[in-house]
Amino acid sequence: MGLTEKQLRQIYQDLHQIPELALEEYQTKAYLTKVIRSFDQSFLEIYEPEVLPTALLVLVKGFDPERTIGYRADIDALPVEEKTGLAYASLHPGVMHACGHDVHMTVALGLLAHFAEKRPKDNMLFFFQPAEESKNGGKLAYEAGIFQGKWRPDEFYGLHDAPELPAGAIGCNLGTLFAGTTEVDITLTGKGGHAAYPQKANDMVVCASELIVAAQTIVARNVDPTQGGVLTFGELKAGTIRNVIAGEAQIKGTIRGMTQEMITLLQRRLKILAEGIAQSFEAKLDLRLEQGGYLPVENDEKLTRFLIEYAKKTPTLEFIETTPKMTGEDFGYLLSKIPGTMFWLGVNAKASLHSAHLAPDQAALAKGVIAISGFLEARMQAKEV
């Protein structure tokens, strides 16, 4: 029924070869559309929103619908040069599906094929979303008004591949699955000068150093030790030569928290601290905090409990209770607007997410389709959760 395991593996390998960056996924969308149009179209309706050209939505019309169940798969890739050595490695130099969105798309196509052949009770909306890795495609789609009328799901589901879990295993937890993130960009401007005459300059290397060290107290002294928060600076640029005092410094980093309240706290404390240090050095401060659509992925309690209970009582399904991760995912924005759940699909890979060596175990594809289709069918039979 639906796509065979051989067909799923071929689709995965095809998609793996054509990775594209955020909002540039035209070849990927064309491939997805071709595959979807090969399915029985009796109950399907395709929507290609002009306002977001690489997005693709497919409505499966249920035979006795009480709700519309949404399923999201992200389709973009990362600017990573692949080093797997696979026969079906990326054909696009410097771009790779290093986060496993090729897995996400393949499983979604498998689910869509299943429900195109076996008409579901409820309506189903499949959302192939561009720009998850950057440019917050979920937020763009929502704010563009794509989810209106019959195209608005009552609840939303989506998966993320997990290299550390066994192939085909489902992982999840109540509460937050992924942290929310905020990009931090700081520019400090003072006055350059000769290294021998520091009194005639305003050294931004020292100012930046003071700010970076002081910022380490934000989590240590403002966050409840039983809760999670991260403030990391990963980039510092200042100066051009050893005997010239730098008149400008640029700092880039990230804030991460398990709740939006936590993220807001870290943002506020960093702003206060940066303004104070800049003032003490008589420096000009340009601080930019950009969260966009990368809110915490906070799973709906009732829907998630239903998923976990289903997974635990299904003998053919391996379920693993996971812990929250500090990585980010823009599905959090959609879950802030529409109740739903994100979960993990194990892919048993040796390399981590975003690695140039990531090579998921393709046995996860068919197992994932079977596990998730079973859950969705069980959800449709449940009046309330």
Contact 147, 259 (CB under 8 A): no
- pLDDT, residue 385, reads 76
Question: Predicted confidence band at 355 (pLDDT cuts at 50, 70, 90)?
Answer: very high
- Helices 5-17, 363-381: inter-axial angle, 10-degree rounding: 110
Q: Known catalytic residue: 133?
A: yes
E strands, the chain, where?
44-47, 56-60, 68-74, 123-129, 155-162, 170-172, 176-189, 193-194, 229-238, 244-245, 248-257, 284-290, 297-298, 319-321, 325-328, 340-346
Residue 339 near residue 155 (C-beta atoms within 8 A): yes
Asked if 72 and 156 count as a contact pair (C-beta separation under 8 A), the reply is: yes
Where residue 380 falls among pLDDT bands split at 50, 70, 90?
Answer: very high
Active-site residue (options: 20, 25, 74, 298): 74
Instruction: Supply 246's token pair.
Output: 């730098």
Structure-block tokens of residue 225: 């030790």
Complete domains list, the chain, with CATH: 5-175+299-381 (3.40.630.10), 179-290 (3.30.70.360)
Residue 273 pLDDT exceeds 90:
yes
Q: Which amino acid is at 13?
A: Q
Find the Cα–Cα–Cα–Cα dihedral 322, 305, 127, 179, rounded to 10°.
-40
Residue 335 has a CB neighbour count (10 Å cut-off) of 28
DSSP output for 56-79: EEEEE--SS-SSEEEEEEE---BS
Q: What is Dmax (Cα atoms) for the chain?
A: 81
Q: How far apart are CA 330 and CA 135, in angstroms?
A: 9
Tokens coding 176: 């937050």
Structure tokens at 44: 């399907």
Phi/psi of residue 341, nearest 5 degrees:
-150, 140
Q: What is the pLDDT of residues 234-272, one digit of tens each?
A: 999 999 999 999 999 999 999 999 999 999 999 999 999
What is the separation, in whole angstroms, between the first and last Cα of the chain?
29
For the stretch 106-164, pLDDT in tens is: 999 999 999 999 999 999 999 999 999 999 999 999 999 999 999 999 999 999 999 99
pLDDT at position 62 is 98
71, with CB counted inside 10 A (0-12, 13-18, 19+), is buried
Stretch 306-311: mean pLDDT: 98
Q: How confident is the model at residue 1 (pLDDT cuts 50, 70, 90)?
A: low
Span 363-385, average pLDDT: 95
Other residues' Cβ atoms within 10 Å of the Cβ of residue 89: 15
- Average pLDDT value for residue range 71-80: 98
User: What predicted TM-score, i.e. pTM, was given to this entire model?
Assistant: 0.95
Do the Cβ atoms of 201 and 238 come closer than 8 Å?
Answer: no
Looking at the DSSP assignment, which residues form a beta bridge with residue 70? 125, 156
CA 23 – CA 53 distance, rounded (Å):
8
- H helices of 179-232, in order, are 204-222
Token representation of residue 265: 């706290």
Please state whether beta strands 176-189 and 155-162 pair in parallel, antiparallel, or not at all (unpaired).
Answer: unpaired
Find tokens 């379920």 and name the residue: 319
Q: How would you label 355-367 residue by residue, b for 16+ Cβ within 10 Å and e otherwise?
A: beebbbbbbbbbb
228 pLDDT above the threshold of 90: no
pLDDT for 384 equals: 78
- Cβ count within 10 A of residue 112: 25
Question: Which is the catalytic residue, given 25, 76, 132, 133?
Answer: 133
Helix, strand, coil abundance in the chain, percent, nearest 5 = 35, 25, 40
